[in-house]
């Protein structure tokens, strides 16, 4: 009886976030009457949700804090743009290849940081992202410098169609992340973030598991990066910048480290409600937005979902 | 000869930046991600204070005013660093992940504030000493000549403070064994906040002194942070002298790279040192370990 209940809970834990995400994604552009502007905004928000959920897929499980997530996003976006514009690759193939490049970047991060955790991991990811960002300007004949690389033809025609494709991809990313968490691979990934010696003693192949986790994270982030390049028809340095990296990091942390649905929702809500709501502030907008994130992370280091689950526990205790 | 002089100046700059970072790292066992922002605040602070102090002077600001502007900026940065860490202690946010998360958020927030106040356009700062001097037959900007002596004084001061004063020895005791230090009646919190304040002072000084050589931009916190990190990776884990040696090495390596290869290539040196250093010698060239670091 107990066992059955736990199984049902586990299944519910997997199904609930995905169902909620579908509802949010469908309802998102309604407020603006499904206008092109609303659809584009919702598309970008759902792509950012792919970034945060892929960040949380690896970092949430292993307990690391990556500050270089745009290394995956940027390499994938530029690969897509270069393949499409310079080599005449079909747009959809360019997006898929971009995602693969993001996955390879993930493998590289996994291999380079095999023996490192904590702040060292954070700084290595930051160093990789910065190397790439700098390369964009130094080799401006290839990467187009500050302007970036422009894309000729989009992968999906029509704002609604693009929104629909991205919504499916974004929800699927969340689904994959939730699924991974519930499988034995996810448990081994979590173990690799704990005491490495105990993990190895229990038969977890820590290096392999970590690299695989980083690759999967890079793959999803890369898919999002390619989709974002296609959405704005350009791969520019902003996609690979440390500010974007920091934004992904902060949204995932504020949403709730390791909760998957928290970071997904945080990205969607931030870009549609907070970011849009502050547009009237003009040039003060980024300052106020980052100030709010700074205060949020100071007030709730465990994130919104962490606060909720603490309240839920207390309530359960009281009744 | 020119190569040697340039390398000397760069090394002095890096020593000044990295020695405070190494101090915090050695005593708190955390990598202070705010260090780059301290350097940036020192530079912007120098701009602010020099402009404020020079208001009464019509033409050309005398060195006394620019020098006090830089010093005030460094002191203000130090106060900010100390207050920031104190606030973390008071609110109980001293867990490794909490500090890291808040520091990253703080970096971006500070960068956005500066961008709002001053824009992304480059700002220029008046140097303390104008013109150029000859050093061993090489023409060097006079302001740059202030950097190596300041770095030397900072290192000597730090060494004397850690070795011979009560508060410096208290910090070393906390770094060695904070439990035992607490039992001996030392306030670990006060010692650690003091260490962050001193690190911020040196970083602010480095920012203010090197500010005339560059145009200030809100993204400038990144490079000093990477330099500091590369220094710690390369060998300055724990000891002040180790940090000085590796900072000097890094400065020289960058100058040599840009001399024989290109300026662009030299921008990768610090990054290469970090990645290669961590992959080839994860325990550091000078021994010591990053194992218990979070």
Res. A239: pLDDT tops 70: yes
B290 belongs to a structural domain: no
Contact A255, A303 (CB under 8 A): yes
* C-alpha–C-alpha distance, residues B239 and A254, integer Å: 36
Cβ-based contacts of A119 with chain B (< 8 Å): 30-31, 33, 96, 100, 293-294
Flag whether pLDDT at B39 surpasses 60: yes
Residue B88's closest chain A neighbor by CA? A298
The 10s digit of each residue's pLDDT in A210-220 is: 899 999 999 99
The yes/no answer to whether this complex scores an ipTM above 0.85 is no
Query: Where is average pLDDT lowest: A83-92, B71-80, B267-276?
Result: B267-276
In-domain check, residue B212: yes
Segment among A8-12, A70-74, A256-260 with least mean pLDDT? A8-12
User: In angstroms, rounded to a whole number, what is the distance separating the alpha carbons of residues A247 and A142?
Assistant: 27
Q: Does a structural domain hold residue B286?
A: no
Could you tell me the CA-to-CA distances from B6 to B34, B259, B266, B269 in Å, in that order? Answer: 28, 10, 13, 16
Is B108 within a domain? yes
Chain A: give the shortest CA distance to residue B210, in Å: 22
Give the DSSP H or E segment for A11.
helix A2-27
Note the pLDDT of residue B103: 87
Reply yes or no on whether the pLDDT at B167 is more than 70: yes
Average pLDDT over residues B81-91: 85
Domain that holds residue B143: 2-280
Contacts with B107 from chain A: Cβ below 8 Å: 246
Q: Say whether pLDDT at A101 is over 70.
A: yes
In this predicted structure, the answer to whether residue B61 has a pLDDT above a threshold of 50 is: yes
- pLDDT tens digits, one per residue of B134-161: 777 777 777 777 888 888 888 888 888 8
Q: Has residue B285 been placed in a domain?
A: no
| CA A195 from centre of chain | 26
10 Å CB burial of residue A294 (0-12, 13-18, 19+) is buried
C-alpha distance from A5 to closest chain B C-alpha (Å): 34
Q: Which of B73, B72, B68 is nearest to B38 (CA)?
A: B73
On the question of pLDDT at B283 being above 70, the answer is no
CB of A242 less than 8 A from some CB of B = yes
CATH number for B150: 1.10.3470
Q: Answer for the pair A73, A225: CB distance below 8 angstroms, yes or no.
A: yes
Beta strands in chain A, from DSSP E residues, in sequence order: 149-150, 234-235
Domains and CATH numbers, chain A: 2-318 (1.10.3470)
A243 in contact with chain B, both atoms CB, cutoff 8 A = yes
Q: How close B148 comes to chain A (CA, Å)?
A: 27
Nearest to A82 by CA among A33, A149, A31: A149
Q: What is the DSSP string of B79-112?
A: HHHHHHHHHHHHTT--SHHHHHHHHHHHHHHHHH
Is B287 within the bounds of a domain? no
- How many other C-beta atoms lie within 10 A of the C-beta of residue B63? 14
Section A270-298 average pLDDT: 85
- SS3 at position A104: helix
> Can you give the pLDDT at residue B290?
40
The pLDDT assigned to A47 comes to: 94
| Measured distance CA(A217)–CA(A117) in Å, rounded | 17
Query: Residue B60: pLDDT band by 50, 70, 90 thresholds?
Result: low
pTM: 0.85
Instruction: Please tell me if residue B187 touches chain A, with a CB cutoff of 8 Å.
Output: no
Q: What is the pLDDT of residue A1?
A: 41
Measured CA to CA, the distance from residue A4 to residue A2 in angstroms comes to 5
The residue written with tokens 């976030």 in the block is: A17
**Chain segment B198-211, per-residue pLDDT in tens:** 889 988 888 888 87
Q: Lowest mean pLDDT: which of A93-107, A225-239, B172-186?
A: B172-186
Residue numbers in A near B106 (CB within 8 A): 294
A12 vs B: CB within 8 A? no
Q: How far is B104 from chain A (nearest CA, A)?
A: 7
Q: What is the mean pLDDT of chain A?
A: 84
The mean pLDDT value for B35-52 works out to 86
Per cent of chain B over pLDDT 90 is 0
Best to test chain A binding among B91, B278, B283, B292 (most A CBs inside 10 Å): B278
Residue A111: per-residue pLDDT:
86
- The predicted model gives A253-263 an average pLDDT of 88
pLDDT at A2: 46
Paired strand residues for B139: B134
Higher pLDDT: A111 or B262? It is A111
pLDDT at position B291 is 37
Examine residue B294 and state whether it is found in any structural domain, yes or no.
no
For the beta carbon of residue A68, count every other beta carbon within 10 angstroms.
Answer: 28
Overall number of domains in chain B = 1
A59 interaction partners in chain B (CB closer than 8 Å) = none
Residue A8 pLDDT:
59
Q: Residue A222's pLDDT band (boundaries 50, 70, 90)?
A: very high
Per-chain mean pLDDT for chain B:
78
What is the tens place of the pLDDT at every residue in B93-146?
A: 877 778 888 888 898 899 888 888 887 777 777 777 777 777 777 777 777 778
Among A108, A128, A301, the strongest candidate for a mutation testing the B interface, having the largest count of B CBs within 10 A, is A301
Q: What percent of chain B has pLDDT over 70?
A: 89
Give the C-alpha separation, B291 to A302, whole Å: 24
Closest CA to B140 of B3, B261, B290: B3
Looking at chain A, the whole-number percentage of residues with pLDDT higher than 90 is: 25
Contact A266, A247 (CB under 8 A): no
Higher pLDDT, A12 or B35: B35
- The full DSSP string for A157-188 is -SHHHHHHHHHHHHHHHHHHHHHHHHSHHHHH
Instruction: State whether A123 and B102 contact (CB < 8 Å).
Output: no
The count of other CB atoms within 10 Å of the CB of residue A117 is 21
Q: Any CB–CB contact under 8 A between A287 and chain B? A: yes
* Span B201-229, average pLDDT: 83
Residue of B nearest to A294 (CA): B105
Nearest to B108 among A115, A253, A290 (CB): A290
pLDDT at B52: 80
Please indicate, yes or no, if residue B31 is contained in any of the structural domains: yes
- Residue A106 and residue B184: Cα distance in Å, rounded? 48
Q: Give the model's pLDDT for residue B294.
A: 33
CA angle B143, B146, B152 (to 5 degrees): 160
Q: How many CB atoms lie within 10 A of CB B183?
A: 9
Structure token digits, residue B59 = 């033409």
- Closest partner residue to A120 (CB to CB) among B115, B226, B278 is B278
Residues from chain B contacting residue A113 (CB–CB below 8 Å): 278
- Structure tokens of B261? 């290869």
* A30 exposure class (CB count in 10 Å sphere: 0-12, 13-18, 19+): exposed
Q: How many CB pairs under 8 A join A and B?
A: 115
């Amino acid at each position: 009886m107990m066992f059955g209940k736990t199984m049902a809970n586990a299944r519910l834990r997997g199904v609930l976030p995905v169902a909620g995400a579908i509802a949010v994604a469908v309802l998102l552009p309604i407020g603006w009457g499904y206008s092109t502007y609303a659809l584009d905004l919702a598309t970008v928000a759902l792509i950012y949700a792919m970034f945060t959920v892929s960040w949380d897929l690896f970092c949430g499980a292993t307990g690391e804090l990556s500050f270089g997530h745009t290394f995956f996003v940027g390499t994938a976006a530029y690969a897509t743009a270069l393949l499409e514009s310079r080599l005449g690759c079909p747009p959809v193939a360019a997006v898929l290849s971009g995602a693969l490049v993001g996955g390879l970047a993930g493998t590289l991060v996994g291999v380079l940081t095999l023996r490192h955790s904590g702040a060292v991991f954070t700084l290595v990811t930051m160093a990789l992202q910065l190397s790439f960002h700098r390369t964009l300007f130094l080799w401006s004949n290839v990467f187009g410098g500050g302007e970036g690389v422009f894309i000729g033809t989009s992968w999906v025609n029509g704002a609604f169609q693009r929104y629909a494709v991205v919504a499916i991809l974004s929800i699927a990313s969340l689904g994959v992340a939730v699924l991974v968490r519930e499988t034995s691979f996810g448990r081994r990934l979590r173990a690799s973030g704990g005491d490495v010696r105990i993990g190895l003693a229990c038969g977890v192949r820590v290096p392999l598991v970590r690299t695989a986790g980083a690759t999967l994270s890079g793959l999803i982030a890369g898919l999002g990066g390619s989709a974002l390049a296609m959405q704005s028809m350009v791969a520019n340095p902003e996609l690979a910048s440390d500010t974007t990296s920091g934004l992904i990091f902060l949204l995932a942390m504020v949403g709730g480290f390791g909760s998957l649905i928290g970071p997904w929702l945080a990205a969607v809500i931030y870009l549609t409600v907070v970011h849009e709501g502050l547009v009237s502030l003009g040039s003060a907008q980024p300052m106020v937005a980052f100030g709010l994130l700074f205060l949020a992370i100071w007030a709730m280091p465990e994130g919104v979902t962490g606060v909720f689950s603490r309240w839920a526990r207390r309530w359960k205790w009281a009744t | 000869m020119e190569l040697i002089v340039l390398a000397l100046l760069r090394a002095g700059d890096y020593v000044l930046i990295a020695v405070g970072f190494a101090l915090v790292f050695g005593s708190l066992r955390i990598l202070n991600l705010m260090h780059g922002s301290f350097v940036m605040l020192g530079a912007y602070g120098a701009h602010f204070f020099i402009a404020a102090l020079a208001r009464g002077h019509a033409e050309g600001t005398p060195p006394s005013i620019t020098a006090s502007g830089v010093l005030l900026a460094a002191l203000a940065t130090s106060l900010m660093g100390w207050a920031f860490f104190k606030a973390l202690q008071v609110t109980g946010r001293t867990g490794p992940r909490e500090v890291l998360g808040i520091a990253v958020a703080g970096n971006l927030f500070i960068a956005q504030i500066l961008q709002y106040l001053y824009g992304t356009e480059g700002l220029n700062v008046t140097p303390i000493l104008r013109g150029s001097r000859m050093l061993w037959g090489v023409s060097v900007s006079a302001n740059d000549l202030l950097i190596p002596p300041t770095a030397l004084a900072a290192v000597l001061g730090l060494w004397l403070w850690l070795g011979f004063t009560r508060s410096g020895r208290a910090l070393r005791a906390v770094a060695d064994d904070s439990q035992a230090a607490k039992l001996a009646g030392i306030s670990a919190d006060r010692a650690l906040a003091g260490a962050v304040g001193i690190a911020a002072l040196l970083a602010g000084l480095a920012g203010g002194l090197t500010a005339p050589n560059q145009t200030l931009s809100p993204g400038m916190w990144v490079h000093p942070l990477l330099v500091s990190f590369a220094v710690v990776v390369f060998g300055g884990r724990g000891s002040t002298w180790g940090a000085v040696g590796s900072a000097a090495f890094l400065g020289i390596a960058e100058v040599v790279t840009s001399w024989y290869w290109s300026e662009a290539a030299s921008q990768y040196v610090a990054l290469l040192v970090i990645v290669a250093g961590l992959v080839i010698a994860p325990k550091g060239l000078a021994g010591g370990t990053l194992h218990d670091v979070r």
